[in-house]
Structure 1
Amino acid sequence: MAAVRALVGSRLAAASAFASLSPGGRTPSQRAAIHLSAPHPAAKVALVLSGCGVYDGTEIHEASAILVHLSRGGAEVQIFAPDVPQMHVIDHTKGQPSESESRNVLTESARIARGKITDLAKLSATNHDAAIFPGGFGAAKNLSTFAVDGKDCKVNKEVERVLKEFHQAGKPIGLCCIAPVLAAKVLRGVEVTVGHEQEEGGKWPYAGTAEAIKALGAKHFVKEVAEAHVDQKNKVVTTPAFMCEAALHHIHDGIGAMVRKVLELTGK
């Protein structure tokens, strides 16, 4: 027993000596604890949809990519859509209007939101750190009349209110694909991108949108599909997405760049 007590005593003494060599006499576990920083509060991001389906609502791949990148960035997301009728319903197997149908933007957007969706009229910039708008023709048909009226378009009153509220509060706004036309119409002089300004043999089939953006008084910047443009003054971030006929992973990369910059601009 004396031998055991001697052995235990020597080990305790060694542990004590090791601790005394540590800064402040802390054990390794204690030292590790002081390197842990307090977790940052999650950025609260509002995602604004325009229906469900590229030709008459939100581009689903864009919405999904945004949600994935927001999740990866640790953001807290709430999804919104206006409670209004769609401009029309498109049969996506034919690319043609379905004359006998009518659908609601909020109801259709709930498909993407997995049912967790709120009327856009309830969105306030005071409760969120940023807002993001995916593309799809719904942005040009349901959130505005751009698809019909071009530079003379009108923007849904709630969409216009939200854009102005976030802008006036100095909170970032992200838009992709055709959605930058909303900012171009509402926020005079804003900088955006919808990609290239020439069709380039069909690679950029909607390149003419750049001229309409300029006609609205906004500034257009040429960007590649995997890039995002940042208007530092207005805290508006845009990326081309499906304005380009590109591989899906390149489109996801551009959306990722947009989301990351939006989250950076929140400061969270």
Structure 2
Amino acid sequence: MRKIAILAVGFAPNQSEITETISLLISLSEFKAQFKIFAFDRSTPLNHHELYDLESLNPKDFDALVLPGGIGNATHLSTWSNDKIKMTVNPTVEKIIKQFYEESKPIGAICMAPIVVAKVLAKHNPNITLGENFSETHLVEGWKVTVEKCPSTDYITCRDTKVITTPAYMNDATPFQVFTGIRGLTKELVEMA
């Protein structure tokens, strides 16, 4: 059984997106993967799931990493909302992403989270998606990252970096469309792990 680390912002308003997170948990359960949720902010619980301190996440204990979406990726895990192309990533988050990459373990990123992963792994030229109409795609491409258009029901896999992304609510999507894309990403992530 594969063990997946979930790196979430937290579950207060404007942190991790709840529909995307629950879609991920349901999909991980369907594909028989164990998971632990590590949160930047553990002050707001997620019913039925313990939140672990981000500092305690050891990549050696897991087969893959996934970051749910939500605006918190741009405000808490990174400085994208203020700094755009000059953004920085929280040092702990950056270290975790680099460790998973260096150990050749797959990394999934949903909705806004691909921006965080792309910034950390920019020198490795990952392919990601930010949906079909993201107005600031050109800024992310300034890091020499390839950004592909993708509907919310699908996902993009970069085999070279083992990064898998789906746009979720970066597009105008229904909950079922979001779930469909996340389910596909999760299946791919578990198979690659």
TM range (shorter): over 0.9
Aligned length: 191
The Cα of 1:115 is off from its aligned counterpart by: 5.2
Show CA shifts across 1:147-206 (max 9, x none): 11111111011110010000000000000101000111100111100111x3xxxxxxxx
The Cα of 1:75 is off from its aligned counterpart by: 0.4
* Distance in 2 between residues matched to 1:174 and 1:113, nearest whole Å: 23
* Distance in 1 between residues matched to 2:84 and 2:76, nearest whole Å: 14
Question: Equivalent residue for 2:164?
Answer: 237
The Cα of 1:212 is off from its aligned counterpart by: 2.1
Q: How big is the alpha-carbon RMSD for the aligned residues of Structure 1 and Structure 2?
A: 1.2
* Distance in 1 between residues matched to 2:156 and 2:47, nearest whole Å: 27
Residue 18 of structure 2 corresponds to residue 60 of structure 1: yes
Residue 137 of structure 2 corresponds to residue 178 of structure 1: no
Question: Equivalent residue for 2:187?
Answer: 260
Residue 190 of structure 2 corresponds to residue 190 of structure 1: no
Question: Equivalent residue for 2:39?
Answer: 81
Which ranges of 4 or more aligned residues in structure 1 deviate by more than 3 Å? none
8 Å CA contact 1:184–1:217 kept in 2: the answer is: no
Show CA shifts across 1:54-86 (max 9, x none): x5200000000000000000001111012xxxx
Question: Equivalent residue for 1:70?
Answer: 28
Show CA shifts across 1:199-223 (max 9, x none): xxxxxxxx12322220222111111
Residue 144 of structure 2 corresponds to residue 217 of structure 1: yes
* Distance in 2 between residues matched to 1:209 and 1:117, nearest whole Å: 32
Residue 94 of structure 2 corresponds to residue 155 of structure 1: no
8 Å CA contact 1:143–1:159 kept in 2: the answer is: yes
Letter in 2 for 1:148: N
Residue 42 of structure 2 corresponds to residue 106 of structure 1: yes
**Higher RCO, Cα 8 Å, sep 6+:** 2
* Distance in 2 between residues matched to 1:217 and 1:121, nearest whole Å: 30
The Cα of 1:137 is off from its aligned counterpart by: 0.4
* Distance in 2 between residues matched to 1:246 and 1:113, nearest whole Å: 25
TM-score, structure 1 as length reference: 0.69
TM-score, structure 2 as length reference: 0.95
8 Å CA contact 1:60–1:112 kept in 2: the answer is: no
In structure 2, runs of 5+ residues without a counterpart are none
Letter in 1 for 2:74: A
Q: Percent identity?
A: 30
- Decide which of 116, 134, 141 is 2:68's aligned counterpart: 134
Structure number with greater Rg is: 1
Question: Equivalent residue for 1:46?
Answer: 5
* Distance in 2 between residues matched to 1:131 and 1:113, nearest whole Å: 21
8 Å CA contact 1:151–1:212 kept in 2: the answer is: yes
* Distance in 1 between residues matched to 2:110 and 2:49, nearest whole Å: 23
